[in-house]
Structure formats: structure tokens, C-alpha cells
Amino acid sequence: MKHSKVAVIVLALVMVFLYLPIFVLVGNSFNASKFGGEWSGFTLKWYEMLFSSQNRAIWQAFERSLIIAAAATIASCILGTTAALALHRWKDRLQAFHYGLIYTPLVMPEILMGISLLMMFTAVGIGCGLFTIWIAHTTFCVSYVAMTVLARLQDFDDRITEAAYDLGAGPFYTFFHVVLPILLPGIIAGGLLAFTLSIDDFVITFFVTGPGADTLPLKIYSMIKHSKQMPVINSLSTLMLVLTCVLVAASRFMSNRRRRHLPSLKSARALS
């Protein structure tokens, strides 16, 4: 089957539109020119400047981003997994409403969610800071984890748990030794997705942050507006891009590896 030349050209133009700015940013992080308008030779001085003591505030913001992302990932994995299990097990009207609550943050504009959370924190008298950022990130990360685990549950055979009960296993033993290992690839994939979204979030974090609680995206924005060290920002953005790619690759690798070791339908039938 021959490919249409028009389709290939359109695909190439779309790929160039999406990825050419990223390649330009990565290239400028190694450009000796401070302004990036022309290539002045290969250099690593911007990376050296990034790791120097004068940019300690960047790494402090990065540390805050890691702490918030890790805490939001743990909370969203626990809440998202339990939500997915409830949606899979019960099919009543309450769960239909529950599904709507889980699905809504996926389609809601981030600026609307940020303003809503800010108004809520202000109404209850909670000062904005790291705690409010963690609450906000957990709010939208739960939806991604729940949907990922719920997709994993679509192929789950309930006869496996029934066989475990028939063999004398209790509910807790069945969950931790039968259900959880099968759901683990989905939980890991959802957790890595939540971690990536949390560490990269800007819009929602911008509304719920407070003094001394700037995360890395907010720090980068501040440097772009007020700092003259644009090549350092290019270097930092390149490192963030590499970190994101590593997390996505790790998620795909773990998901594919666990999928090859799942029990087949024949083994499930044999257990039942």
C-alpha cells in the first residue's frame, strides 16, 4: 500500500512545527553565543554556570518541585487506585457520579482549576505555600492515576480473586498478593505520569503558591522575565527534557515488562 505524498508532507510539517523549537533550545544550550542568534561554537559553560553557587536558588526550587511531586505522586497513587477499584467493582448511580468527579479534572481548564483552588484556600483561611501546592497537584494527579489503573482493570479477570478466596485466602492477602501485582504496571505508569505532570505544572501552581514556595517552573518563568542568563535557562530546560524522557521511557519499559509476565486467560480459567 502506497503512502500519500500529501499525508507524508503534512506529517513532516507537523513534526517540524512540534519538535524544531525543542531542538533549537537544546542546541542553544551548547552555543557559546549568549543571545543564541548565531552559532559561535560548542561550549559547556552554561551548564557549568547552572551548577555554580550563584544559581543556588534554582536548585532550591528544583528540590521543592521534587518533594511536592513525590508527595503528590504517593497520595495520588493511593487515592487513584482505590477510586479505580471502586469504579470497577460497583456500577450504581453513585459510582457514575464518582466517575464524573474523577473525569472532570482531565477536561477542566487549568486556569479555572487554579482560580477555584485559590478561592477555596482563601475561604477556609489556609495560607498559600508548599502545602497548598501539594493539595492542588494531588487533586489533578488523582484523575490520571485513576484512569490509568481503571484501564488496567478492564482486562482484569475477577475469577482470579474468586479462585484465591476458594483456596482460603483472605481479602487482605488476596489484594496484596493477587490483585496488586496485576495492577502494579498500571499504578507505576500512572505514578510516573503524575510525577511528570506535577514537576512540570505551572498554571495551577502559579495561583496556589506563596512566598518562598516557588517551584522550578515558576523559577524559570521568573528568570525569563527578569534575568539576563537566558542560556542558563536553556541548559536547565534541556535537563528537564531529559528527565521527562527518562521517566516516560521507564514507564513504558515497566509496563511492557510486567505485561509479559501477567497470567494468561488460560491460567485464570485453570485457577477457577
Whether residues 15 and 88 fall in one domain: no
175 lies in some domain: yes
CA-to-CA distance for 54 and 34, rounded, in angstroms? 18
Whether residues 37 and 92 fall in one domain: no
The SS3 assignment for 36 reads coil
Number of domains in the chain: 2
111 lies in some domain: yes
pTM beyond 0.85: no
List the CATH number of the domain containing 143. Answer: 1.10.3720.10
Whether residues 137 and 70 fall in one domain: yes
48 lies in some domain: no
Residues in the chain, pLDDT under 70 = 1-3, 35-37, 226-229, 251, 254-272
158 lies in some domain: yes
Whether residues 171 and 254 fall in one domain: yes
pLDDT digits (tens, 9 = 90+) for 29-47: 888 877 666 777 888 888 8
Whether residues 20 and 109 fall in one domain: no
Whether residues 105 and 164 fall in one domain: yes
Whether residues 34 and 110 fall in one domain: no
49 lies in some domain: no
132 lies in some domain: yes
pLDDT given for residue 262 in this prediction: 52
Whether residues 35 and 73 fall in one domain: no
CA-to-CA distance for 23 and 245, rounded, in angstroms? 14
Whether residues 62 and 137 fall in one domain: yes
Whether residues 92 and 125 fall in one domain: yes
Whether residues 16 and 108 fall in one domain: no
CA-to-CA distance for 138 and 73, rounded, in angstroms? 7
Domain hosting 111: range is: 55-271
Rama region for 156: left / alpha / beta (φ>0; ψ in -120 to 50; rest): beta
114 lies in some domain: yes
End-to-end CA distance of the chain: 45
Whether residues 120 and 188 fall in one domain: yes
Closest listed residue to residue 262, CA positions, set 206, 185, 191: 185
pLDDT given for residue 72 in this prediction: 95
pLDDT given for residue 226 in this prediction: 66
50 lies in some domain: no
